[in-house]
Amino acid sequence: MRLKTSDLTPIGFNVHGQSPPLVDPFGRAVSYLRVSVTDRCDLRCVYCMAEEMTFLPKRDLLTLEELDRLCSAFVERGVSKLRITGGEPLVRRGIMGLFRSLSRHLDSGLLRELTLTTNGTQLEKYAAELADCGVRRINVSLDTLDPDRFRAITRWGDLDRVLAGIDAADDAGIRVKINAVALKGVNEDEIETLLRFAHWRGFDLTLIEVMPLGEIEPMRIDQFLSLGDVRGRLEQRFTLTDLPDNTGGPARYVRVEETGGRLGFITPLTHNFCESCNRVRVTCTGTLYMCLGQEDAVDLRAPLRASEGNELLERAVETAIARKPKGHDFIIERRRSQGVASRHMSTTGG
Ligand code: SAM
């Protein structure tokens, strides 16, 4: 279709109601948005949060209506995958109203996937409703299957509750993927157990390298476990066959021939996956980060609150996407081990 001058609007092309996709200067279309709906969590995982966290005042958070407007604006500009995260997204009061409302974009076909990342503690309560809102897959973070260790890692969590949540999701027909952060000296002896558990239940397992985000007590370098080493150890026991990567994300997948299940490795520190990056993140205060590992950000809360229409918001989003960097730059070494990014994962959204 040829564009006419009359198709130009102050915020770009708008042809027959279709807004143009968000494409960054490196030609990467932004099709995946991760939105943190709260910085609060009912757990305090040692690598993620300090024990004494100061949480944001409620007025700083985007309201559920603002979150809906923001997500919808991205969906109308070509975002087809939306991941709700946190903090712990399911502790945000009224969160199911947001899922219910966003599910209209699944019905319209604009959104291909509505999903979330959760610690699983509230899943027993919400799994059926999430499924009813069109959530088909979820990521559940689970670093250990040992109740005492679980309590130590999360500072007070109850493993049984998470396992019951996983069962509830499974019963509701939601596909579960288990995400485990590989931590040196903490759960490195349990990777095989996690793998066997996940694959026995028919779930994918993804291992994540600890990232230098936020100020927490233990030095990152002490927690860091290279997934290259983990893979090497697993290969002594299992046959791992590389699978073609089609997620556009940082995970590289293998098939574990002995279990038939899929295993993913997220290695932001040892591999660059930026060339295929299709994602951006919004914090619960409406700050848009174009890259998890860079500080540059654009405020979307002010334009959201400045008017009822979305023109200012769209302009801010376009400005941000035009600044999406080519890649990130995590470095773990002693002199910088408190993190290139001073924000916690719970703030940016994992
Ligand atoms: N509460 C939800 C959950 O537990 O999945 C969503 C937010 S949580 C911050 C998202 C993921 O980030 C979790 O899998 C968590 O283990 C991971 N995470 C937190 N801090 C991290 C860090 N410094 N490095 C790597 N992963 C981290």
Supply 130's token pair: 């999430």
What's residue 20's pLDDT? 92
Task: Tell me if 119 CB under 6 Å of ligand 1.
Answer: yes
Q: Left (φ > 0), alpha (ψ -120 to 50) or beta: where does 12 sit?
A: left
CA 345 to ligand 1 centroid distance, Å: 6
What's residue 277's pLDDT? 87
Q: In testing the pocket of ligand 1, which one of 48, 213, 219, 284 has its CB within 8 Å of the most ligand atoms?
A: 48
Task: Tell me if 287 CB under 6 Å of ligand 1.
Answer: no
Task: Tell me if 291 CB under 6 Å of ligand 1.
Answer: no
- Global pTM value: 0.91
What's residue 51's pLDDT? 87
Q: Are 127 and 96 in contact (CB under 8 A)?
A: no
What's residue 112's pLDDT? 98
What are the backbone dihedrals phi and psi of residue 140, each rounded to the nearest 5 degrees, phi first? Answer: -115, 125
Please name the amino acid found at residue 132: D
SS3 content of the chain, % helix, strand, coil (to 5): 35, 20, 45
CA 315 to ligand 1 centroid distance, Å: 31
- Taking the C-alpha atoms of residue 75 and residue 329, their distance in angstroms, rounded to an integer, is 29
Helices 159-171, 147-154: axis angle to 10 degrees equals 100
Q: Which contacts (CB < 8 Å, 24+ apart) does range 12-17 have?
A: 12/314, 12/318
CA 183 to ligand 1 centroid distance, Å: 12
The helix/strand/coil state of 29 is strand
Task: Tell me if 39 CB under 6 Å of ligand 1.
Answer: no
- Taking the C-alpha atoms of residue 170 and residue 4, their distance in angstroms, rounded to an integer, is 51
CA 49 to ligand 1 centroid distance, Å: 9
What's residue 327's pLDDT? 84
Q: Which residues of the chain have pLDDT under 50?
A: 1-16, 332-341
Please name the amino acid found at residue 236: Q
Other C-beta atoms closer than 10 Å to the C-beta of 215 total: 10
What's residue 228's pLDDT? 93
